[in-house]
Amino acid sequence: EIALLNVDGPELFKISDRRVILPADFEDLSDTPAYRSIMEGQTYTSPVYTSDRAEPYFFLAVPLKATPRKTAGGLIPRTNLKFLWEVVSEKKFSRAGYVYLVNETGDLIAHQDSSLVLKHLSLTSLRKVAKFLRTRAPDQPPAEPGMGLNGAEVLSTYALVADLGWAVMVEEPGWAVEFARLNA
């Protein structure tokens, strides 16, 4: 879905490949962080939301310039992130390792078990998620033992998705923890 905003904030045009858009569906976004960013000439990335169909999505707000210093409105594409569930569920290593994705606030936004995402879990209490949120830097040292998403001890690490402020978290339960301790 994508919307075109005029300089005052109301949507002028909106199109979607999933639903019919009626004039009553147009919104005035003048009182939103997205609109304020557009008017400052900056791109805005929203937090991840859940739709009425329980699918995760986020949107961007991109300013449209009339001149280099004057904003004439903006484009706001809304992107469904359900495809991320499939991406992380396909990424497997060893017998029990798994991958999941957290957003800029430490919320779970993609996991092979989509029911966990729909619970809107905050993972800020997990050691590696907390480290990612605190440092916003590559994981050093990687692969440290700690508690995992499922409450069991795991070997975990993360990789940054810098442009979005997210992280791909990787956890390996069981034998990997013992192996790391033996080699420490």
pLDDT, one tens digit per residue, over 69-102 is 899 999 999 988 888 877 777 766 667 788 999 9
Q: How far is CA 136 from CA 45, 50, 55, 97, 104, in A?
A: 17, 25, 27, 24, 9
Q: Please tell me the least confidently modeled range out of 6-10, 61-65, 172-176.
A: 172-176
Please name the residue ranges forming H helices in the chain.
33-39, 82-90, 114-118, 127-135, 175-182
Rounded Cα distance, 114 and 127, in Å: 22
Q: Please tell me the least confidently modeled range out of 94-98, 124-128, 166-170.
A: 94-98
Q: Is the pLDDT of residue 48 over 90?
A: no
pLDDT grade, residue 146 (50/70/90)?
A: confident
DSSP state of 31: T
For residue 156, give the amino acid letter: S
DSSP state of 24: G
The answer for 179, left when phi > 0, alpha when psi is -120 to 50, beta otherwise, is: alpha
Mean pLDDT of 114-135: 91
Rounded Cα distance, 115 and 30, in Å: 34
